[in-house]
């Protein structure tokens, strides 16, 4: 069952059957769990492959898995066997949402299409997160984050003189996951109004094309195009964190007032009336010159000096922090960004709390990421199986009841 703190959460009472693996789907269902949903993670024999990424202790509890699968319960099922499928269908009959990331051919083979599961649960929100829309010729292609960064235009936009490159975090996975969260919650709202379930498909390529082109379409917004694609400010090779006398700072001078204040601060007030810099339209054309100027000026003073000056002028600026430095940041500490927990097998852990504040509602106290098959006996009992049936179903998991033999469903 869901932790007590989730009883008033926005998705309290919503059960999600999570058939996803790797990054995208588990991040989607993590967010749903953080909003109070009861997420049952159904894992194939051997479990989600991400269990074993950087799993130095050999426990199947690698750091990405520990982050992405908090708040979930694990049930290990072999869906290719009749007994496993029977358990799944009974589980789906109790669910509000099913999420999977199978390609169309695999979903058809395993009978996990919307029409298959709506036959069991007509009010079900059936969400597929996959690489490419099933309506197009790429429907059966395999896809991971790197492939989508390449095919969506993002790698080309991110690249420079040496060619295209990838964003170092799997942004296509995570961006598509968040799109799926929005689609699922919208479908649940629709169901409350209509009483009907819905089939949702959230494709990575189309999502990331939308994501990339919002600002990068440029002249191609017009048909025929009226200019090149791209956004000059973000395309500038001089757009980067700037070196100060003792570190680096991220600063974004943007409005007319901010540029006037910056020119005054650096002793060059006349530049505010320079035709190249007077308006945002002109500055966009001459952005390389402005960013070169920023680079030249910032090296003369310390990070602390610049931050104080920028704060006084209302210019957005922050120091560049490494990942380890985030854990000591005074603001992140003050707002309780990091949650310290103790995992039953992995010991003390730090996780990032859900960043959204539903004012007046308590945060959800998430259970730790599950060991493989950990909650099998518990979930089977909830589904109406008796002790002898549970024992016969041979649930896998290090936390399985002592009298339950190990094996695969």
Pick the range with the lowest mean pLDDT from 253-257, 329-333, 359-363, 368-372.
359-363
Spatial contact of 249 and 319, defined as CB atoms under 8 Å apart: yes
The whole-number average pLDDT for the span 189-212 is: 98
The pair of structure tokens assigned to 355 is 């960043």
- Which residue has tokens 């159904």? 42
**387/379 Cα distance (integer angstroms):** 12
Q: Which of 38, 48, 96, 173 is catalytic?
A: 173
Longest dimension (CA), the chain: 85
The span from the CA of 215 to the CA of 288, in Å, is 18
Confidence of residue 7 (pLDDT cuts 50, 70, 90): confident
Q: What share of the chain in percent tops pLDDT 70?
A: 95
Lowest mean pLDDT among 144-153, 231-240, 396-405: 396-405
329 classed as catalytic: no
Return the closest-CA partner of residue 116 out of 128, 107, 103: 107
Residue 9 has pLDDT above 80, yes or no: yes
Contact 2, 379 (CB under 8 A): no
Q: Give the DSSP H or E segment for 259.
A: helix 256-265
| pLDDT attached to residue 406 | 34
In the DSSP assignment, the letter for residue 328 is: T
Question: In the structure, what pLDDT confidence band is assigned to residue 360 with cuts at 50, 70 and 90?
Answer: confident
The stretch 260-283 carries a mean pLDDT of 96
What local confidence, expressed as pLDDT, does residue 394 receive?
Answer: 59
* Mean pLDDT in residue range 174-203: 98
Is 50 exceeded by the pLDDT of residue 401?
no
Residue 392, pLDDT score: 83
Tokens 């980067």 label which residue? 240
Measured from the Cβ of residue 322, the count of other Cβ atoms closer than 10 Å reads: 6
Closest C-alpha among 267, 249, 260 to residue 305:
249
User: The tokens 């059936």 sit on which residue?
Assistant: 126
Query: What is the Cα–Cα distance from 340 to 253, expressed in whole angstroms?
Result: 37
* Cα-Cα-Cα-Cα dihedral sign, residues 366, 369, 374, 376: positive
Where on the phi/psi map is residue 266: left (φ > 0), alpha (ψ -120 to 50), or beta? Answer: alpha
Q: Does residue 355 surpass a pLDDT of 80?
A: yes
Give the C-alpha separation, 67 to 65, whole Å.
5
**Interval 12-41: pLDDT, tens:** 999 999 999 999 999 999 999 999 999 999
Contact 129, 175 (CB under 8 A): no
Q: What is the average pLDDT across 359-374?
A: 92
- Which contiguous run of DSSP H or E holds residue 342? strand 338-343
User: Which domains, from first to last, does the chain contain?
Assistant: 4-211+335-392 (3.40.50.10540), 242-319 (3.30.1540.10)
Q: Residue 400 pLDDT more than 50?
A: no
Q: In which band, very low, low, confident or very high, does the pLDDT at 393 lie, cut at 50, 70 and 90?
A: confident
Angle at CA of residue 258, ends 312 and 293, nearest 5°: 105
Cα distances (angstroms) measured from residue 253 to each of 261, 263, 285? 9, 10, 15
Strand, coil or helix: what is 5?
Answer: helix
Q: Is the pLDDT of residue 134 over 60?
A: yes
Instruction: Specify the pLDDT at position 395.
Output: 44
Residue 207 three-state SS:
helix
Average pLDDT of every residue of the chain? 93
CA pair distance 191, 204, nearest whole angstrom:
25
Tell me the backbone φ, ψ of residue 39, rounded to 5 degrees: -105, 120
Neighbouring CB atoms inside 10 A of 397's CB total: 21
State the Rg of the chain over Cα: 25
88-123 in b/e form (b: 16+ CB < 10 A) is bebbbebbbbbbbbbbbeebeebebbbeebbebbee
Residue 402 has pLDDT above 50, yes or no: no
**Can you list the alpha helix ranges (DSSP code H) found in 93-203?**
104-109, 114-118, 145-151, 154-158, 171-194
What would the pLDDT profile of 85-130 be if each residue is shown by its tens digit? 999 999 999 999 999 999 999 999 999 999 999 999 999 999 999 9
Q: How far apart are CA 65 and CA 23, in angstroms?
A: 9
User: Mind listing the pLDDT tens digit for each residue in 36-61?
Assistant: 999 999 999 999 999 999 999 999 99
């Amino acid at each position: 069952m869901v932790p007590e703190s989730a009883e008033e959460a926005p998705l309290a009472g919503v059960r999600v059957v999570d058939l996803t693996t790797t990054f995208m789907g588990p991040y989607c269902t993590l967010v749903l769990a953080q909003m109070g949903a009861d997420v049952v993670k159904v894992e194939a024999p051997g479990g989600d492959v991400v269990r074993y990424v950087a799993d130095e202790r050999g426990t199947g509890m690698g750091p990405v898995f520990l982050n992405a699968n908090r708040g979930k319960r694990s049930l290990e099922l072999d869906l290719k066997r009749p007994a496993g499928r029977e358990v799944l269908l009974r589980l789906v009959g109790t669910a509000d949402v099913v999420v999977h990331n199978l390609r169309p051919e695999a979903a058809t083979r395993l009978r996990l299409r919307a029409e298959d599961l709506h036959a069991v649960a007509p009010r079900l929100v059936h969400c597929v997160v996959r690489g490419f829309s099933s309506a197009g010729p790429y429907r059966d292609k395999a896809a991971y984050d790197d492939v989508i960064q390449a095919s969506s235009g993002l790698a080309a936009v991110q690249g420079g003189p040496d060619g295209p490159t990838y964003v170092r975090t799997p942004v296509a996975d995570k961006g598509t996951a968040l799109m799926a969260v929005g689609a699922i919650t919208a479908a649940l709202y629709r169901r409350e109004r209509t009483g009907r379930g819905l089939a949702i498909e959230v494709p990575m390529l189309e999502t990331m094309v939308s994501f990339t082109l919002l600002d990068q379409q440029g002249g191609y917004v017009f048909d025929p195009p009226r200019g090149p694609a791209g956004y000059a400010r973000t395309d500038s090779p001089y757009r980067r964190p700037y070196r100060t006398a003792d570190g680096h700072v991220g600063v974004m001078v943007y409005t007319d007032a901010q540029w006037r204040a910056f020119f005054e601060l650096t002793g060059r007030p006349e530049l505010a009336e320079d035709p190249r810099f007077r308006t945002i339209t002109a500055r966009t054309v001459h952005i390389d010159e402005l960013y070169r100027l920023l680079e030249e000026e910032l090296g003369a003073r310390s990070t602390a000096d610049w931050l104080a000056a920028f704060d006084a002028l209302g210019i957005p600026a922050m120091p560049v922090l490494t990942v380890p430095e985030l854990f000591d940041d005074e603001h992140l500490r003050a707002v309780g960004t990091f949650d310290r927990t103790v995992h039953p097998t992995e010991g003390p852990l730090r996780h990032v709390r859900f960043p959204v504040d539903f004012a007046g509602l308590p945060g959800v106290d998430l259970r730790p990421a599950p060991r493989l098959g950990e909650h099998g006996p518990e979930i089977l009992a909830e589904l109406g199986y008796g002790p002898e049936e549970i024992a016969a179903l041979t649930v896998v998991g290090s936390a399985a009841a002592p009298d339950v033999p190990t094996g695969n469903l």
